[in-house]
Amino acid sequence: MATIYDVAKAANVSPKTVSRVLNSDAPVGKKTRDAVEAAMAALGYVPSSAARMMRSNRSGLIGLITGAISTTAQDTQISGLPELQIVQGIQTVIAPSGNTLMIADTGGDSSRVPGLIDTFIQHRVEGLLYVAEYHQQVHLPKVPANTPMVLVNCFDENNTPAVIPDDRRGQRELVSRLIQAGHDRIAYLTLRENIIATPLRKQGYRDALEAAGLPYDPALVQACEIDNPEGETQVLWDAIDTMLRFDQPPTVICCGNDRLALKVYGILRSRGMKVPDEISVAGYDNYRVIAETLYPPLTTVELPYTAIGVRAAQRLLGMISGESRDSANPAIVAGPVHWRGSVTEQRRSNVTQLKILRED
């Protein structure tokens, strides 16, 4: 990153002269001004108003772009604040590093992102973090090669350093625990098909079944998340009604997230069914406002947002210092299964018993 001293040397003038050109606070001859401006253009120097940057090669600033601040109250109540948790994780690493985290909010408008990136670069941040609201592929403008960037909860096609959740492993470990508890008819009500997490978690579901020697039954898997809350409840009710009419109904229902699990609790109770006495339920996210307040408390998988933020900040600081040891891209972060009262032990079927006997 070029400094004012580099510009002065290239233009064969003093740093004070460069400062005068930048601030227009003293007369400078046209020939000298032209030389300074040509040097700045050649070196890719970005002017900054901070006096600290006039004296040092480091700004101590880290730029972060997110939508967490503008998340609506309704979104908070229903699905939590994953972006905010990620930002908190980032700050726990940035603060003790002696750097300052500058946060810009998109206001929910992705078209603002290029302008925010430009603003941060003009302030000569030492690195950039972009935080997505859910696991997804993003398309961002390129940043200068001398400005490290880490994508958080997202990735792109340019192999930009990224940190994402391990959705496949999370679902696999949950279903494996359910199988260990004796469940071999496991329904899965998934999120939307067009998001990255869904195929990954479905594969994790199938991985666990295969490892246990259990067949995959596509009739037990249905996408139930839609944008219309009332319509979504109807879709869930129909899926559950259909599955409960099978000759071999499921003994446990896995839900794509804890919000869906909350609705499933209500649907089952409206049918007079007790959780987990008559059927078990599991979620995904470990959104504690839901998982710990439901009765019985919800078995679910942690989406490790705080850990993702910590890992992303550590990765960026390593890139800035040149000491990064994290070469995997994207870096994948897994979360644990939280086993609570919504799942009960089942008598194992012959298929599962045979599998266990083979392993023993």
CATH class of the domain comprising 167-299+339-359: alpha beta
Q: Which two tokens stand for residue 78?
A: 């229903």
Report field, pTM of the whole predicted structure over 0.75: yes
Banded pLDDT at 57 (limits 50, 70, 90): low
What mean pLDDT is reported for the chain?
88
Q: How far apart are CA 117 and CA 137, in angstroms?
A: 18
Average pLDDT over residues 299-305: 96
> Quick one: average pLDDT of 234-241?
97
Has residue 120 got a pLDDT over 50? yes
The C-alpha atoms of residue 278 and residue 239 are separated, in whole angstroms, by 17
Q: How confident is the model at residue 18 (pLDDT cuts 50, 70, 90)?
A: confident
Compute the average pLDDT of residues 11-36.
84
User: Does a cis peptide bond (omega within 30 degrees of 0) precede residue 27?
Assistant: no
End-to-end CA distance of the chain: 61
Looking at 3.40.50.1000, 3.40.50.2300, 3.40.50.300, 3.40.50.11540, the CATH number of the domain 61-160+306-334 comes to: 3.40.50.2300
Work out the pLDDT band at 55, boundaries 50, 70, 90.
very low
Lowest mean pLDDT among 23-32, 147-156, 343-352: 343-352
Q: When comparing pLDDT for 235 and 40, which is higher?
A: 235
Per-residue model confidence (pLDDT) at position 61 = 93
In angstroms, the CA 348 to CA 359 distance is 15
Strands 162-165 and 252-255: unpaired
| Residue ranges of the chain that CATH labels 3.40.50.2300 | 61-160+306-334, 167-299+339-359
